[in-house]
Structure 1
Amino acid sequence: MINVDQVAVLKGPQGTLFGRNATGGLIQVTSRTPTPDFTADLQTTYGNYNTVGTLGYVSGGVAKGLMASTAVMCENQGDGFGKNLVTGQDVQTHRSIAGRGKLLWQADADTDITLSGVMAATETVRPPSRCLR
């Protein structure tokens, strides 16, 4: 998460805020607000099981009073957590991509309208099946 602005931890129960019988607390993660000035961040990681990850964030002004930001995460795990004993292939490898976008329109000094969206997808990579002969 490259675009985190604030993290708040609220102890439970939070029935007043989140409805009756809500027994747990809340971890609220707030993302950065788009800015009129161009801002960009990029991080690349390498980890266990030949995992390569990239995080990117871009924010800036689109037009007068209109700002946008987007954050993207891509991860590719090349080696699996184990081996299939029959085929010898790696198992539990995956590819993931996630993104979050925000559009901020400042209509006037007292009115801000924010539109945000989130997208995530994970694909489990399986080797091609082979027939045993």
Structure 2
Amino acid sequence: MGRENAQTLKAWTYLDHPKAFTLIPNPVMKQVLSGEVEGGRLKPIPRLVYLALLTRARLEWKETTPQDLALLLGLDRRTVEKALLELWERGLAERGEVGWWAPLHPLQAEAHAVQVPVHAVQGAARENAVQEGVS
């Protein structure tokens, strides 16, 4: 029993080692496993969606759609979309041209909040859209 517990403890302290390497950066992996983020704690489904997004973070094609995530995780598409919006509000997920992706080094909540939203304009006119708060 003692030897088994020591190996488990060593495996978890590996995440604390400053030069340790995983495919997902150690601080982000600790954040996913604990659920602790700025402004509170993630619920189980957003944590699961976040982990699924992070597994694609180092791929060339890292974006995925809510439908693909729902199929992968065995969840309803609307539940996945709600989790993605919660992750986006906390700066842990970003929306791309095709789908959602998770940055390996997420923005801090203050920096994410500074991003200026743009009115929803369809098609090629969105580059000329009026930004909110700009007169």
Sort the TM-score into its range (normalised by shorter chain).
under 0.3
Larger radius of gyration: 1
TM-score of the aligned structures, taking structure 1 as reference length: 0.19
As a proportion of its length, which structure holds more strand? 1
As a proportion of its length, which structure holds more helix? 2
TM-score of the aligned structures, taking structure 2 as reference length: 0.19
